[in-house]
């Protein structure tokens, strides 16, 4: 039986989906996490504790494990584990991204320098120290963001000098949180300030094999993302952009992967489209986050997680295509800070035509923190329909049926 090392942080939503995918494929899974795990799905040889902040040490541990329990592939699920996966795959001689390319995809400043040098359109940008006064000469509107966080955490639009100073202070406070500071290391004392790029934002899900990008799905984001914060809500695929623009998006994403040096495995890219062309906002060496992958089905019902595992094992997935039926997901935003006391309207939301599932991930009693300080959602809505417009309507109607009772904190 094939055996895959799956790098699962304790904070990820995706444990269950990857383990279910492995079970369906008949793949043995070794779960590696940064803390000792008690996952009942795994036998003792299927658990490994690795320090994700030390890729070199993790690679040594994985190589020792591989000597006793041979592995056939390694799969990361987020930005931090992508770097660790690159180090492990190199040590085990698996097809892999270089460690440098995975680190570049995690560091937004380095990413932009490489993309710019590779001729890929990116916003004008500069890295700033959070230990120095706010920089002068910024062109507004601009966007401030941490170098290594995801899910729009700490991303703030600024329209003038006063906004800039306030935003940098907020970002500095986020990056000074002990767990964030430990993850970021030197990157936790810097921020990126870049031009705000207007236009339609899309998300591209792809898979690299020997440097060749296969586009798995292109998502429209129909809600405007104009700030001051950039909380994502609805993703719908297939995209409603003109075919020529979709082709340009795919070519830009492929050029971005090449400029970063990424060659193997899943990529998730965020791009903006306007009259000037297609700009890359982010490119991550991982698949889509949260539970959003449940939107995607391929071939005879394959999940995205199954596709990623098949790829990691060296199986051919080049001819697999996404099902034609439009689909979408809504990441339910947090409306305000407080304690979640009750969720109402789930039954009504589930009854909306086209809705496939309603998953509330925030439990009662949870302290809710909205963006830009927060990094999670209340849950996810999933829909399918005959058209992308119908999918979007279903998601909006289902969301309108939900009521979250939140006790505001003093």
Confidence of residue 332 (pLDDT cuts 50, 70, 90): very high
Mean pLDDT for the stretch of residues 329-336: 96
Residues 134 and 174 in one domain: yes
Task: Collect all residues with Cβ–Cβ distance below 8 Å to 11 and sequence separation of at least 6.
Answer: none
Mean pLDDT of 171-197: 96
44 or 22, higher pLDDT: 22
Secondary structure class of 158 (helix, strand, coil): strand
Residue 408 lies in a domain: yes
For 102-129, what is each residue's pLDDT tens digit?
999 999 999 999 999 999 999 999 999 9
Judge whether 227 lies within some domain: no
CA-based nearest residue to 48, from 83, 22, 84: 84
What pLDDT score does 45 carry?
62
Residue 8 lies in a domain: yes
Token pair 């055996």 is found at 3
Q: Count other Cβ atoms within 10 Å, centred on residue 144.
A: 24
Q: Look at the block and give the residue holding tokens 């998300």.
A: 203
Residue 401: which CATH number?
Answer: 3.30.470.20
Q: How confident is the model at residue 13 (pLDDT cuts 50, 70, 90)?
A: confident
The residue range of the domain holding 176 is 124-195
Domain-located, residue 382: yes
pLDDT, one tens digit per residue, over 288-323 is: 998 999 999 998 789 999 999 999 999 988 889 999
Domain count, the chain: 3
What three-state secondary structure class fits 212?
strand
Residues 17, 75 within the same domain: yes
CATH number of 174's domain: 3.30.1490.20
């Amino acid at each position: 039986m094939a055996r895959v090392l799956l790098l699962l942080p304790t904070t990820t939503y995706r444990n269950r989906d990857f383990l279910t995918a492995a079970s369906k494929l008949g793949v043995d899974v070794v779960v590696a996490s940064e803390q000792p795990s008690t996952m009942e799905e795994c036998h003792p040889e299927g658990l490994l504790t690795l320090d994700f902040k030390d890729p070199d040490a993790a690679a040594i541990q994985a190589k020792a494990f591989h000597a006793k329990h041979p592995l056939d592939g390694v799969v990361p699920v987020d930005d931090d584990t992508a770097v660790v996966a690159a180090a492990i795959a190199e040590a085990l001689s698996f097809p892999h991204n270089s460690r440098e390319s995975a680190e570049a995809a995690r560091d937004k400043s380095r990413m932009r320098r490489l993309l710019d040098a590779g001729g890929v359109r990116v916003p004008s940008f500069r890295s700033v120290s959070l230990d120095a006064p706010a920089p002068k000469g910024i062109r507004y509107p601009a966007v401030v963001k941490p170098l290594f966080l995801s899910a729009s955490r700490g991303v703030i639009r600024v329209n003038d000098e006063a906004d800039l100073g306030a935003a940098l202070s907020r970002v500095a406070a986020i990056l000074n949180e002990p767990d964030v500071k430990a993850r970021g290391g030197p990157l936790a004392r810097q921020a990126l300030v870049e031009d705000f790029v207007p236009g339609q934002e899309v998300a591209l899900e792809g898979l690299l094999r020997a440097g060749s990008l296969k586009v798995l799905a292109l998502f429209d984001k129909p809600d405007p993302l104009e700030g001051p914060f950039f909380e994502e809500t609805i993703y719908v695929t297939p995209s409603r952009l003109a075919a020529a623009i979709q082709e340009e998006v795919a070519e830009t994403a492929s050029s971005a992967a090449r400029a970063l040096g990424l060659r193997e495995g899943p990529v998730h890219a965020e791009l903006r489209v306007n009259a000037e062309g297609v700009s890359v906002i982010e490119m991550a060496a991982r698949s889509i986050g949260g539970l959003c992958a449940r939107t995607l089905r391929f071939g005879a019902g394959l999940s995205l997680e199954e596709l990623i595992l098949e790829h990691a094992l060296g199986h051919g997935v080049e001819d697999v295509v996404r099902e034609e039926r439009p689909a979408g997901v809504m990441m339910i935003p947090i409306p305000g800070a407080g304690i979640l006391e009750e969720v109402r309207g789930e039954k009504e939301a589930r009854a909306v035509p086209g809705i496939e599932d309603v998953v509330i991930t925030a439990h009662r009693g949870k302290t809710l923190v909205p963006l830009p300080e927060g990094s999670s959602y209340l849950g996810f809505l999933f829909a399918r329909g005959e058209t992308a417009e119908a999918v979007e309507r279903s998601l909006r109607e289902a969301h309108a049926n939900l009521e979250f009772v939140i006790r505001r904190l003093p």
